[in-house]
Structure formats: structure tokens, C-alpha cells
Amino acid sequence: MDTATFTANNVWMMVCTALVFFMHSGFAFLEIGLTRQKNTINILFKNIFIITVGLLMYFGWGFNLMYPGEFNGWLGFSGFGLDMDPAGVTTAYAEGRYTYWTDFLFQGMFAATAGTIVSGAVAERIRIGPFMVFIILYVGLIYPIVGSWQWGEGFLYSLGGEDGVGFYDFAGSTLVHSVGGWGALIAIWLLGPRIGKFGEHGKSNAIPGHNIPMATAGVLILWLGWFGFNGGSVLSADPARTSLVLTTTSLAAAAGGVAAFLVSTLAYKTYDLTMFLNGILGGLVGITAGADLMSPNEAVLVGLISGAIVVGGISLIDRVKLDDPVGAVTVHLICGIWGTLAVGIFGAKAGGQQFLYQLSGVAAAGIFCVVSAFVIIYGLKKTTGIRVERQEELEGLDLHEHGMDSYADFRMNQH
């Protein structure tokens, strides 16, 4: 490969790395926008913790746990830290698509995302200490192990035998989003709902977020970041594949938003912006598993179904008395499962055998993540406790967990 192509590939991957990093701003804006002012510092603290500690853990062992080289297909580890082999910055590495350092950093940006998904779901009532312990164990160990099963060429990758790749997940509908979604589901189940979320006879009460404009900005930032999330997963600057992926990604996002807006309007007779926003995210999560395999028409179908799923899923979560302030379980878990299965229904790999491969991947990741998350969170619940005291929850976690006020000047000017 010539130097110019190698450089172009690597620069594209570094740009995508920056875009995926920028997504963490989007997650932070979305989460604080959809929750109450009194918990803003707490949510921001958790997000910053996830990014910093997540990247250090991925450097320490996660990268080599996720990409162990030759291994038994279930669990492998190639050592601590990063490799200093000079060949890592030449065309000898990864067929000249990027350098070793770019490979690590791009994948490291993904690692924190699984933890951020959980952060939004448990907002406004979890103790910060046990949450940090959970993140260290879940992002540091569970996420890279599941990722190794496909991206590290483990047993899910090998399901197809000599015929080729079995389970397929282009950019992580299951390996990133569902991993975070399963953790979020178990966490909110064991944690319980916020005070006042469910009233008499189990009726669900809306707890409005304090800054919907900020939540909207968060979703737009996430959409932009997804150009790096999916576009970088091409793993080169190949013009045909990258332009197709960016097109299918955007069409699915747009279709998801419109479908959620229309379905929620028909169901609830109101123009709900938060449904519109989560529909966009649902479309993005749904297309992530097969963005490189779908035609534009198929991407629109995947997005439309994702948007409808968002409305039904959020309603279902409420009906079973689970409290998810930002809709993380619906968007990342349910739409992640749908997007993964869609690879076997639409696109270049559609077919009954592929659908079974996809179903196997969803089941394997789901069982492992549910058991792991339950063991970690239940263990914390029975030892240190995971929920703040009633008075702390009512007065806000910013004051009691951090001794700070996110809008101190604004509040002082109100008096």
C-alpha cells in the first residue's frame, strides 16, 4: 500500500476517534437535560469518571482482553499495557488501514459508551461509590470479553465455520449498545424507581427533565458523533463503504425520529419532543449492526421500525414498573436487539441461517451480561448498598454526594 493511502486511512480513523469522543458530550447533555436540576453535577461526575477510568482500564488490560490474538474463542488475554513494536506504525499493521495507536484509541472510545448507557438509566438515585465499582468491573471486564467473541474473532465470529463470519455486528448494536442496555436493565430493576415515579395503583407519573433544549443539543451531537462511530467502523477511508455507511446511518436516524413522532402523536395525541429525540437515537442504534450491509431503502425500514419500537418500549418499561429516566433500556437494548436481528432480515447477509447466527449472538451476550450485571449489582446492594437515602434523593444528589450546585449563580439571583 502506498504512503498516501495509508496516511489517508489513518487520518480518517483519527477523525472518527475524535467524533466518537465528542459523543460523550452528547450523552452528558442528553442525560442532564432529561433529569432534574438538583442531580446535574452527579450525572456529569459519573460521565467524566466513565471516560477517564474507562480509557485507562482499556489501556491497562481491556484492549488485550478484547483482541487477544490466538485464543480459545471464549476468553483470552495477551498481556497488560500496549505493544511498543515499531511495526505498529507501518503498513505492516492492519493491512495499512491505520496504526496500532489509532486502533487502540478508536476502540478505547467505544469502551466507555457501554458504561454511559447505564449512567442515564440509574440517574437520580444511585450512590456514586457503588456505581463507580460497577463501572470498573463491567466496563473493565465484561465489555471486552463480550467484544472478543466477535470483534476479537472468538466463537461468535466463527459460527459460520469455513463459510465465513457467523454472527455479524458491524459497529456494536449488540457488542456496545446491548451490553450497556442489559447492564442498565438489571441496575434499574435492583435499584427501584425514583420517589414519586409510580403513584397509587401503580400509575406512572412523568418527572420532567429540567432542560429539554440541552437534551435536544445532546441528541444532535450524538447523531454527528455516530458518523465516527459507524463511519470509523469501516476501519479505513474506503470511499465507497464510508459514504454508504454515513448515508444509511443518517437515513435510519431520520426515519427513527419521524416514526417515533408519528406513533407517539397517534397514541398520546400530543407532539412529544422527547419521543422524537429518542426515536432518532433508536434509529441510530438499530442501523449500527448492519450499516455497511443495507441499501438506503432498507436503512429507512430499519429506522422506521426502530422508531416505533421506541414508543412501545418506553410504554412497556413503564407498565412493568421500571424507572428509566432517559429511555436507555428501550433505545440501547431493545433497539440494539432489533438492529442485530435485522442483519438477518435485510441487507447483503439476509437469510435464515444468518438470522440464527444473529439470534445466537444476542442470546449469548444477553445471558452473560445479565448474569454478570446481577452478580455485581446484587453483591453491591447486599454489602455497601446502592441507593441513596430518601432525604438525599429528595434534596438532590448534587448537594449530598458532591456538596456542589450546578447552577449556583442562577439560584442566588433568584433570591
pLDDT, tens only, 105-161: 999 999 988 889 999 999 999 999 999 999 999 999 999 999 999 999 999 999 977
On the question of pLDDT at 56 being above 80, the answer is yes
Segment 330-357, tens digit of pLDDT = 999 999 999 999 999 999 999 999 999 9
As a whole-number percent, the residues of the chain with pLDDT over 90 amount to: 88
How many Cα atoms occupy the beta-carbon half-sphere of 205 within 13 Å?
A: 11
Domains in the chain, number: 1
**End-to-end alpha-carbon separation of the chain, Å?**
67
Q: Residues near 137 by Cβ (< 8 Å), separated by ≥ 6?
A: 376
Residue 411's pLDDT band, with cuts at 50, 70 and 90, is: low
What is the radius of gyration, based on Cα positions, of the chain? 21
Q: Is there a contact between 216 and 26 (Cβ–Cβ < 8 Å)? A: no
Q: Which whole number is the average pLDDT over 228-234?
A: 96
Q: How far apart are CA 410 and CA 415, in angstroms?
A: 9
Copy the grid coordinates of residue 67. Answer: 483482541
In terms of pTM, does the model score above 0.85? yes
Q: Is the pLDDT of residue 162 over 70?
A: no
Residue 225 has pLDDT above 60, yes or no: yes
Provide the residue count of the chain: 415
C-alpha cell at 322: 421500571
Angle, CA 43 vertex, CA 125 and CA 54 arms, to 5°: 110
Q: Mapping DSSP to helix (H, G, I), strand (E, B) and coil, where does residue 365 land?
A: helix
- Residue 154: CA count within 13 A, CB half-sphere: 25
Range of the domain at 73: 3-413
Q: What are phi and psi of 168, to 5 degrees?
A: -130, 125
Q: In this structure, how many other beta carbons lie within 10 angstroms of the beta carbon of residue 224?
A: 15
Closest CA to 330 of 142, 180, 172: 180
Give dist(CA 330, CA 265) in Å, integer: 18
> What is the grid cell recorded at 74?
471464549
What is the rounded distance in angstroms from the CA atom of residue 377 to the CA atom of residue 263?
35
Helix (H) or strand (E) holding 310: helix 296-319
CA nearest to 360, candidates 213, 158, 217: 158
Give 84's pLDDT tier (boundaries 50, 70, 90): confident
| Alpha carbon distance 43, 45 (integer Å) | 5
Query: What grid cell was written down for 69?
Result: 490474538
> Rounded to an integer, what distance in angstroms lies between the CA atom of residue 106 and that of residue 311?
32
Q: CB of 120 within 8 A of CB of 27?
A: yes
Q: Count other C-beta atoms under 10 Å from residue 7's C-beta.
A: 12
Kindly state the cell numbers that stand for 151: 470483534
Q: Which of 182, 154, 8, 178 is nearest to 91 (CA)?
A: 8
Q: Residue 344 maps to which CATH number?
A: 1.10.3430.10
SS3 204: strand
Instruction: List all residues 6 or more positions away from 258 whose beta carbon is below 8 Å from its beta carbon.
Output: 279, 304, 307
| Segment 49-59 mean pLDDT | 96
Q: Give residue 69's region: left, alpha or beta (phi > 0; psi -120 to 50).
A: left
Q: How far is CA 61 from the centre of its chain?
A: 21
